[in-house]
């Protein structure tokens, strides 16, 4: 059993808002709520295809997590289901830090002294996130059982279970850099469930690389 008192975790909703705010402050235009259907490239430009229009650019940086295989070809990348449950401890027996149990595969993340997020239920793999299978009732029961095990208390109340998913690579290492299909499409994906903590560092390094060296035939 591993305790992670110093590792922390990311509030993804807050992080997304802050990233958008910072991008706008630096002059970027952000389209919120627009669904990207496909990413491609030709001799002239890279393209981002929306429902009724196609946007063109010198480059496209594809950092779409588990949705990446649905947008562009990434060698070997696949998706894995991650059912996550909200659990309540009436006795307020939630530990103050994350716990990962390598034996059972279970893990919990505290959300105060009374509530926690629990995971570790059976996962499934598929070529894309649209093809994943979720047994939410079964996953919820298993996550609650794991929460009881990891906290050492039987007084745990399952609140809900939601489907989640991540993008994985065969060696669990991310794809960072130009796509093998076209230099105009740059990948920053395939972090195998560990990407959120690395977003700022990856963004800075990728921006540095793009500014320092332009792919052949692509203006900087």
The whole-angstrom separation of Cα 90 and Cα 29 is 46
Quick: pLDDT tens for 69-128.
888 888 889 999 999 999 999 999 898 888 888 889 999 999 989 999 999 999 999 998
Q: What is the mean pLDDT of the chain?
A: 87
The pLDDT of residue 4: 52
Tokens of 213: 């060296």
CB 119 within 8 A of CB 136: no
Residue 172 burial (CB count, 10 A): 11
Residues 6+ apart with CB under 8 A from 10: 196, 197
Domains along the chain with CATH numbers: 2-6+79-168 (no CATH), 34-76+171-212 (3.50.50.60)
The pLDDT of residue 207: 86
Percent of the chain with pLDDT over 70: 92
Tokens of 9: 């975790």
Please give the average pLDDT of every successive group of 10 residues along the chain, which has 220 residues. Answer: 56 85 91 90 92 94 89 88 95 89 90 93 91 94 95 91 92 88 89 81 86 58
The whole-angstrom separation of Cα 121 and Cα 119 is 6
The pLDDT of residue 217: 47
CA 2 vs CA 17, 87, 106, 113: distances in Å: 31, 20, 11, 19
Block residue for tokens 């059993």: 1
The pLDDT of residue 202: 87
């Amino acid at each position: 059993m591993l305790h992670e008192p110093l590792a922390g975790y990311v509030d993804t909703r807050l992080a997304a808002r802050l990233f958008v705010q910072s991008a706008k402050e630096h002059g970027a235009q952000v389209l919120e709520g627009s669904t990207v259907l496909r990413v491609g490239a030709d001799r002239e430009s890279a393209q981002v295809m929306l429902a009724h229009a196609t946007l063109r650019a010198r480059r496209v940086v594809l950092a779409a997590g588990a949705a990446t295989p649905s947008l562009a070809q990434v060698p070997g990348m696949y998706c894995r289901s991650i059912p996550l449950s909200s659990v309540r401890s009436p006795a307020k027996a939630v530990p103050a830090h994350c716990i990962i149990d390598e034996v059972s595969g279970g893990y919990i993340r505290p959300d105060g002294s009374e509530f926690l997020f629990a995971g570790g239920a059976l996962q499934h793999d598929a070529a894309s996130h649209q093809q994943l299978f979720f047994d939410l009732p079964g996953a919820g029961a298993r996550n609650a059982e794991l929460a009881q095990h990891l906290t050492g208390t039987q007084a745990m109340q399952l609140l809900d279970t939601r489907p989640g998913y991540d993008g994985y690579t065969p060696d669990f290492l991310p794809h960072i850099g130009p796509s093998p299909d076209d230099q105009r499409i740059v990948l920053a994906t395939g972090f195998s469930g560990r990407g959120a903590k690395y977003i700022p560092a990856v963004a800075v390094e990728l921006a540095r690389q793009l500014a320092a060296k332009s792919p052949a035939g692509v203006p900087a």
